Structure 1
Amino acid sequence: MKKTIVFRSAMLGSAVTAALNLNPAFAGDDTIPYEFAVSPNSEFSADEIYIAVVGYQNGGYAFMDFDNDFEINQMDSTDNTLASPNDDGYSYIDMFVPLSEIEEQTIPMPQLSSVRMYIAFGSTLYIRYDSESDTGGYVAPTLNNEGDANYGIRFEMVELTYNDYGLWTNTTRVDSYQYPMGIEVWGGDGFYKRVGEILTHDDIVNAWQAMTQAETQFTNLYLVDDEYDYDIIVNPSHHEDFSSSGGQYEDYFDAYVDAVWSRYSTENLCLSIGEAGKWVGRVNSSDQFVFTEYTDDYTDENSGCSDVTLSTDAMISAKPGTYEIMSASGVLAEDVSETSDTDNDKNIQKHFSAAFNRGAIDLDADEDAWISWDDSSTYFDNAYYGHNQYVEFWHSEDISFEGETYAFAYDDVFDYSSTIHTTSPEQVLVTIGGFSADDYVEAASIELSCETLSLTTGDVSTISADVLPVSASNQSVSWATSDDDVVTVDDGELTAVSEGTATVTASSYTASVSAVCYVTVTDPIPENFIARIEAEDYDEMSGVETETTSDTDGGENVGYIDTGDWMRYSINIPSAGTYQFDFRLASAYSTGSFELRNANDDVLATVEVNNTGSFQTWETQSLMVDVEEGDQTLTIVATADGWNINWFEVYSTDTDDQEENATNTASSSAASNSSAGSLSWWMLAFMPLLVGCRKR
């Protein structure tokens, strides 16, 4: 039987399906470099490996023309020009090219959906446009069919969809295993992920045969044809032993299904299926498993689901057979006429298919308790009724990298498949022969070039991240900031946005390791800035007290000021002249006032304190003051009570003084009283701006 591929999202069996629903029009000029590498352990060289690309666009399938700058051509009957190798009466599309003839063994992949990259070994495959049905589909190779022009030709596939929302790509064991494959994807902001087999072909075959010594039902899935030097492992859904038409193991799952249907014909199933929500199901007298979407309104306690009266929001219309479970077909891929929403039907059906294949339906689960089949640690551990051994084999971490693979059509349920997704793909490497020759070293730690970093608003600084050990296979990191209103980060480049603190984190995509740098951003120091003096940093005082302030920079302020109280400070003035003094003040009244006096007790200025609304509501009051050159002693004398002061700042009004302001400090015999709670630009004026980092 020939297999015609037409565009039906239900039959794709991968996360590609979800991607298609996002954006049905796949157009764009961007391409992703898909590079091919041949493993040192591969028995096939690049000139013995043939590549073709088929994808869906504009309502039909298209293929990549390697002889015409990788152009994507829509298929039609005129493309069937290649003679058949076995005189089957058909012609085929001449679309394959030896890998050795592709420049740098790299394909520029444009935006395209439902793509299959066919990788054939020793010979091209024979794929033709289905001119008989003329539906826009094509006839793909069929497994274990001696009448097929492709019989005896080993081949593999890489599946993908690339659109405006990113890239979805995966290896697949949904139909068969024929040769080890590996995929690695790099993306923006340090994204990296790999999937694929980690053993040689011979080692995989040996492991399969060892497994089937105990699980004999699956022995015949290993197919060998010595005439063609051809050995593969087919998915049980493609083998006659599990066929629904008299296969010797067609009842493989029957006992399991009967037990599930029996239990939930007398009680409700409370099922949580992730983003698809909560559902309550029960088997009716017609053996239909009927489901109602659950809401909290069904029960006051919001505990179980026994009090839910079922309506028909979704359904499995009959007991599924073994073939339907393994192939995700029939009643597990059905638009049930009795329900109004096919998406609801498919959500329920795919979760049951996945759960049966994984042996995840626990018949010992508590009654009236919410259950979910998302815990991968419980998969393939059903002591009573078993599971799909083919699926377990490919999910073994001894076979596939980190146990990720695509072994049946709904293997993406609960993100358990080998699908790689990134919204910003940059490069893909397909390793033919898998990762058997690749000694993968996991990242153990990350070291940043700084632990703390001080920046001024507007600064741009680059920090580096070293992934350790240096032999770690993935040296990429992902960058994040705890507050992008304070500092942003792009591939290690930090931009100071506004005053505040933030934590910048570098993490590995392939291991649970990370490192942080604590960043403080302050506003720029004005060029005419002379000094800032905290009110509590007096040399001497009389009568006043300090308290914690709620002002922007934190720390303490001086309060409880009575008439006649005073505070004395020291400051260096670069030259005699008029200076701007800014006083940070708060008051609940309009009666407060003070004088600023010099060492001779001359009054330099008088300040009437504004009513700010409270003793912790702050505003800055400014005035001009004539001050002599050199070391000066300034005293603030309260002439009326009822006000608080946090700090005062001094600014030059003479540009000649601005070059000298770096020599000015505010001395204080009570420096130990100053706040260390929140660093501002004025506290950091003389501190190094970078700690172990490169700045521009």
Structure 2
Amino acid sequence: MHQLRKWLTALVAGAVCVMGAATPAAALGPDRLPITVGNQSGRSEQVFVHVLGTNLATGQLGWVDGGGTFRAWPAGSNPPSPAPDSAIAGPANGGAVTVQVPRGFSGRIYFSFGQKLPFSLTPGGVVQPAPWAAGDPTRDMLFDWSELTYNDSGLWLNSSQVDMFAVPHSVSVTGASGATRTTGKLVPNGRQQIIDALRADPAFARSVVTRADGTVLRVLAPGKAAGAGLLSATYLDSYIASAWNAYTTRALTVQPFGDRPEVRYTGRTSGTTLRFTDPSGREVAVFPRPSSSDVWGCDGALHAPNDQVVGPIARTLCAALFRGTLGASSTEPVLDAGQFYRSTPPNLYGRVIHAAMTDGRAYAFAFDDVGAFESLVHDGDPRSARIDLTPFGAGTGGGGGGGGATTGTGAVTSGVAGKCLDVASANSANGTAVQLWECNGTNAQRWTFGTDGSLRALGKCLDIADWGTANGAKVQLWDCASGQSNQTWVRDGSSYRNPASGKCLDNPANGSANGNRIQIWTCYNNDAQRWSVPGA
């Protein structure tokens, strides 16, 4: 099993979560892997690319130049000295540039708009950008990064929102078979959807960072926002206490290995300490109640050592607290995404980041790979890879999968002639059924598709009941919560897909009877899932 590890350097301002292989296999893939950076951002500024990281064979820190050669950093100084220029000229809007990454490399690919990123060196290593820190030279710069490891076991490439979300981008890898895997695409207008949802919440509003010229530079992850004084440092404390106390009267079972369900540990809380025993009754791990900071960073009381017992339990606990399932569950990890981000107070950042992704996958925190919810692509025999800077505004980018932004007001007509999406009895109460009905032009059939991906009627939103993700989960009318994953719909051909569940709006059996209750179902793009939405 591949596990997240931190790429550690001296005075690194932010840890990078990348994937590594525990046991090298036969060398696969080219000596230098071509990684193409495409630019469909819609922005006019010059893009610069920096490839920074570690030579895995020597342990040296350095950068990769335009020709694919790894170059070690020279010695630094105190105060830090400027690093050599590592910038590679990136693509103009609509263009692409290919960089070569040598096998045996792990690190980051940065991309910045308008300016090269400034790096500096100390005697211990390179100082990474930390725009959440006062006085950091990148605070007013628009940039982001992807993370990668390329070694004898293949390529791991992921987008990351662990520290912040700034530049929408997807990542892809193509293997020797010609198959391409892609993740990280946003729903139409997904960047703005994230920004709007956080700005609308008083607790998170200040985590949206805007430059003096009005450019939204980034949304800070909760740990970084709290560290900068932009989010309450105790935001999750009440939830953590409630979740921790839940296991004073009942047991928590942790099964940390998906491929080894027989490995399980039992936890019970005593005072403020959660203690775990193995099946023999031997105590194997002890965790004091963590702080909000510990949860945001998956560290401190939740530090996960690289072992086979304490580390896996710690990862599972942090994932459960970040996603808000701990306390409501008897077994972790919970693998039903419909149960995530429902705790009080809610982790709005995690919720809206995942809801904005077309496949629901993101790296909103260090251990988002628990249950495989991370925005990661891997191939053991790669031939090429891509990072696509996708549109900042309406639309999805990076090679298809979803249409442009849909907006407008009117009837939503079904694949069944003469039938429309209808709110039962024109009742605006929460929980009212949404059904098929003869088109009649009433307000019960007057829907507005917003740029945030919501579909609204009678002042409420089309909502998947009980956050369901399984085939047959019914849809209903409910109070709107911008960016909420069970109220987000993306055009996919003639169908409308909910990214969190991966399922499509469906008319059961393509029935034509008035009152046929609408549901979600595996996407087939058939007549039962064809809808004509205003503005589409």
User: Under TM normalisation by the shorter chain, which class is it?
Assistant: 0.5 to 0.7
1:42 aligns with 2:42: yes
Aligned AA (1:284): S
Question: Distance in 2 between the 1:346 and 1:123 partners?
Answer: 40
Deviation readout 1:43-84 (Å, 9 max, x if unpaired): 135xx0001111212122121122xx3211122327x9xxxx
Residue number in structure 2 paired with 1:94: 85
CA contact (8 A) 1:53 1:116 kept: yes
Bigger drift between 255-264 and 400-409 goes to 255-264
Measure how far apart 1:232 and its partner are. 1.4
Where 1:124 maps in the other structure, the secondary structure is coil
CA contact (8 A) 1:180 1:199 kept: no
Question: Distance in 2 between the 1:141 and 1:372 partners?
Answer: 33
1:250 aligns with 2:250: no
Aligned AA (2:127): V
Any stretches of 5+ residues in structure 1 without a counterpart? 81-87, 299-308, 336-340, 443-468, 472-509, 514-696
Residue number in structure 2 paired with 1:6: 9
Of the candidates 423, 428, 440, which is equivalent to residue 385 of structure 2? Answer: 428
Deviation readout 1:106-125 (Å, 9 max, x if unpaired): 11222134320111110000
Bigger drift between 176-185 and 268-277 goes to 268-277
Of the candidates 348, 353, 356, which is equivalent to residue 394 of structure 1? Answer: 353
CA contact (8 A) 1:213 1:219 kept: yes
Of the candidates 397, 402, 419, which is equivalent to residue 376 of structure 2? Answer: 419
Residue number in structure 2 paired with 1:403: 360
Aligned AA (2:273): Q
Where 2:52 maps in the other structure, the secondary structure is strand
Aligned AA (2:325): A
Where 1:120 maps in the other structure, the secondary structure is strand
1:330 aligns with 2:300: yes
Measure how far apart 1:42 and its partner are. 1.9
Measure how far apart 1:174 and its partner are. 0.9
Change (3 A) 1:146 1:227: farther
Measure how far apart 1:25 and its partner are. 12
Question: Distance in 1 between the 2:266 and 2:195 partners?
Answer: 42
Q: How many residues align?
A: 393
Measure how far apart 1:373 and its partner are. 1.4
Change (3 A) 1:441 1:71: closer
Aligned AA (2:290): P
Where 1:50 maps in the other structure, the secondary structure is strand
Question: Distance in 2 between the 1:25 and 1:71 partners?
Answer: 22
Residue number in structure 1 paired with 2:441: none
Of the candidates 248, 255, 266, which is equivalent to residue 249 of structure 2? Answer: 266
Where 1:403 maps in the other structure, the secondary structure is coil
Of the candidates 364, 367, 374, which is equivalent to residue 335 of structure 2? Answer: 374
Change (3 A) 1:147 1:326: same
Question: Distance in 2 between the 1:53 and 1:440 partners?
Answer: 26
CA contact (8 A) 2:320 2:326 kept: yes
Residue number in structure 2 paired with 1:645: none
Of the candidates 173, 185, 188, which is equivalent to residue 161 of structure 2? Answer: 173
Where 1:105 maps in the other structure, the secondary structure is strand
- In percent, how many aligned pairs have the same letter? 21
Residue number in structure 1 paired with 2:463: none
Deviation readout 1:467-489 (Å, 9 max, x if unpaired): xx999xxxxxxxxxxxxxxxxxx
Residue number in structure 1 paired with 2:102: 110
Structural mapping, 1:441-480, within 5 Å = 441=401
Aligned AA (1:249): S
Change (3 A) 1:89 1:380: closer
Question: Distance in 2 between the 1:28 and 1:129 partners?
Answer: 32
Deviation readout 1:551-591 (Å, 9 max, x if unpaired): xxxxxxxxxxxxxxxxxxxxxxxxxxxxxxxxxxxxxxxxx
Change (3 A) 1:315 1:24: farther
Aligned AA (2:318): S
CA contact (8 A) 1:315 1:348 kept: no
CA contact (8 A) 1:93 1:126 kept: no
Question: Distance in 1 between the 2:27 and 2:381 partners?
Answer: 16
Question: Distance in 2 between the 1:470 and 1:178 partners?
Answer: 28
Deviation readout 1:201-232 (Å, 9 max, x if unpaired): xx445423432365321111101121585521
Change (3 A) 1:215 1:54: same
Residue number in structure 2 paired with 1:356: 321
Change (3 A) 1:439 1:96: closer
Of the candidates 246, 261, 278, which is equivalent to residue 293 of structure 1? Answer: 278
Of the candidates 112, 119, 132, which is equivalent to residue 111 of structure 2? Answer: 119
Residue number in structure 2 paired with 1:52: 50
Question: Distance in 2 between the 1:73 and 1:170 partners?
Answer: 23
CA contact (8 A) 2:160 2:363 kept: yes
Measure how far apart 1:27 and its partner are. 11
Where 1:217 maps in the other structure, the secondary structure is coil
CA contact (8 A) 1:326 1:357 kept: yes
Question: Distance in 2 between the 1:262 and 1:358 partners?
Answer: 17
Change (3 A) 1:104 1:264: closer
Structural mapping, 1:522-671, within 5 Å = none
Residue number in structure 1 paired with 2:152: 164
CA contact (8 A) 1:351 1:413 kept: yes
Question: Distance in 2 between the 1:27 and 1:56 partners?
Answer: 19
CA contact (8 A) 1:35 1:428 kept: yes
Measure how far apart 1:148 and its partner are. 2.1
Question: Distance in 2 between the 1:431 and 1:267 partners?
Answer: 47
Residue number in structure 2 paired with 1:72: 70
Change (3 A) 1:128 1:210: closer
Question: Distance in 2 between the 1:224 and 1:26 partners?
Answer: 45
CA contact (8 A) 1:93 1:129 kept: no
Change (3 A) 1:174 1:89: closer
Of the candidates 132, 145, 150, which is equivalent to residue 133 of structure 2? Answer: 145
Aligned AA (2:283): T
Residue number in structure 2 paired with 1:636: none
Residue number in structure 1 paired with 2:462: none
Taking structure 2 as the reference length, the TM-score comes to 0.65
Question: Distance in 1 between the 2:126 and 2:8 partners?
Answer: 5
Q: Which has the higher contact order (CA 8 A, sep 6+)?
A: 2
Deviation readout 1:466-516 (Å, 9 max, x if unpaired): xxx999xxxxxxxxxxxxxxxxxxxxxxxxxxxxxxxxxxxxxx9999xxx
Where 2:196 maps in the other structure, the secondary structure is helix
Aligned AA (1:138): V
Aligned AA (2:245): S
1:212 aligns with 2:173: no
Question: Distance in 2 between the 1:75 and 1:97 partners?
Answer: 16
Aligned AA (2:202): T
Measure how far apart 1:31 and its partner are. 2.3
Taking structure 1 as the reference length, the TM-score comes to 0.51
Aligned AA (2:244): W
Question: Distance in 1 between the 2:523 and 2:16 partners?
Answer: 28
What's the C-alpha RMSD, in Å, of the aligned pairs? Answer: 3.7
Of the candidates 290, 314, 319, which is equivalent to residue 285 of structure 2? Answer: 314
Q: Which has the larger radius of gyration?
A: 1
Question: Distance in 2 between the 1:213 and 1:74 partners?
Answer: 42
